[in-house]
Every structure is written in structure tokens, then in C-alpha cells.
């Protein structure tokens, strides 16, 4: 059995104000760093063999905090698990988009990466990870849309829609090529003080 623990990065200032991030390389804010420390504290009680991350700053910073706390080095960074590219809407809020393109902006071609392309690169990454590290328990720090689209791709009968909270933990298991979800979007660590662990 191979287990993948998906972690969405900690919160950023752009998350707080509702600004589309996509591939824009935004760092964590102070709250995001605190969230990363809380998930790191939680994970120290669990058995994980590997840690990998998207190469975007907010994911790397989250992974680095986890790595230090768990004494588990980041094995590698992978651009295939970057966030969906948001094209022309990167850096805008919903209000900005309504002013610039009107209420039907979602129907316009604004250069956003397709769901199919996100699923393709994410699935390629996961297939390679499972093939090369079969039987391992692997933490993957990535992004909300990427993780959500992967869940819908790997378990379409279970996930029609998804929402991922910052530093949530979602655990998938692969047994003989069959995926199952053990835990979804869990943020119990955010409801407890770091001192309570």
C-alpha cells in the first residue's frame, strides 16, 4: 500500500483578500506560517517516509516548516504540482473581474489553464510517485485547485466537487492500483493550540 498525504499550503495575503494567485509566487503571511507549524506539529505523531512539494514559494515555505519540525528532508520540488495557471485573472479579485469583464467573465477566454491539463500533469506526477516509491507514505505539499482536481480525477465517483482549506490534510491510499480516500480536508490541527500537542 502506498499512501499520499496531500497538504494545501498555508494562507497568504492574497488568499485573505480573495485575489487569484495561480502561478504568481506569493509567500505565506504570518497566519500561514502559524498554520504550517500546526500541521507540522500534528504530523510529528504520524509515520511518513517522504516529503515533496510544488516549487512555488508558498508551498515550499509550508514544506520547509514541516521538514524542520519532522526532521524529514524535502526530497524534491516538482513544477507539475503547481497551482492552476489563472491567465489574465491572476492578481485580480472578484470585484476586479466584474468591473473589467462583466458578470460573464467565466465564459470568456482569459488564458486560464484547463482542468484537463491540470489533471494530466498532476496524474503524471502521482503515477510516477507511486511507481518509484511503492509502499511508501509520502507527504505532498501543493495547492487547492491542483489537489481538488486530482481527487476528482483519481476518485471521480467520490468527488464531484472539492474544497481544500489551507494546510488541510487529505490522505489517499493506493492498494494494487486502486485508490481510496482515508481522510479528506482535515484541519483538526487548526482547532488546537500548538501547545496542546
The catalytic site residues sit at: 9, 83
Helices (H), 71-166: 94-101, 115-132, 144-154
Contact between 133 and 140 under an 8 Å Cβ cutoff? The reply is: no
User: Rounded CA gap, 52 and 161, in Å?
Assistant: 25
Q: Where are the beta strands (DSSP E) in the chain?
A: 2-8, 50-53, 74-77, 137-142, 169-175, 178-186
Residue (of 73, 65, 66, 69) closest to 49 by Cα position: 73
As to burial, measured by CB atoms within 10 angstroms (0-12 exposed, 13-18 middle, 19+ buried), residue 30 is exposed
Strands 169-175 and 178-186: antiparallel
**Phi and psi dihedrals of 10, rounded to 5?**
-65, 165
| CA–CA separation, 51 and 62 (whole Å) | 11
Amino acid at each position: 500500500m502506498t499512501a499520499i498525504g496531500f497538504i494545501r499550503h498555508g494562507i497568504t495575503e492574497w488568499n485573505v483578500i480573495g485575489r487569484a494567485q495561480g502561478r504568481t509566487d506569493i509567500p505565506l503571511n504570518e497566519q500561514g506560517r502559524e498554520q504550517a507549524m500546526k500541521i507540522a506539529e500534528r504530523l510529528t505523531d504520524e509515520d511518513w517516509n517522504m516529503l515533496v512539494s510544488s516549487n512555488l514559494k508558498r508551498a515550499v515555505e509550508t514544506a520547509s516548516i514541516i521538514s524542520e519540525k519532522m526532521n524529514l528532508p524535502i526530497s524534491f520540488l516538482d513544477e507539475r504540482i503547481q497551482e492552476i495557471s489563472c491567465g489574465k485573472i491572476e492578481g485580480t479579485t472578484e470585484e476586479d473581474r466584474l468591473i473589467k469583464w462583466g458578470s460573464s467573465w467565466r465564459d470568456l477566454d482569459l488564458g486560464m489553464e484547463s482542468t484537463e491539463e491540470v489533471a494530466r500533469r498532476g496524474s503524471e506526477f502521482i503515477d510516477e510517485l507511486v511507481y518509484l516509491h511503492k509502499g511508501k507514505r509520502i507527504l505532498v505539499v501543493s495547492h487547492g485547485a491542483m489537489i481538488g482536481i486530482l481527487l476528482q480525477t483519481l476518485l471521480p465517483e467520490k468527488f464531484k466537487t472539492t474544497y481544500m482549506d489551507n494546510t488541510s490534510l487529505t490522505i489517499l491510499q493506493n492498494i494494487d492500483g486502486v485508490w481510496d480516500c482515508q481522510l479528506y480536508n482535515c484541519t483538526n490541527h487548526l482547532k488546537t493550540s500548538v501547545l496542546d500537542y
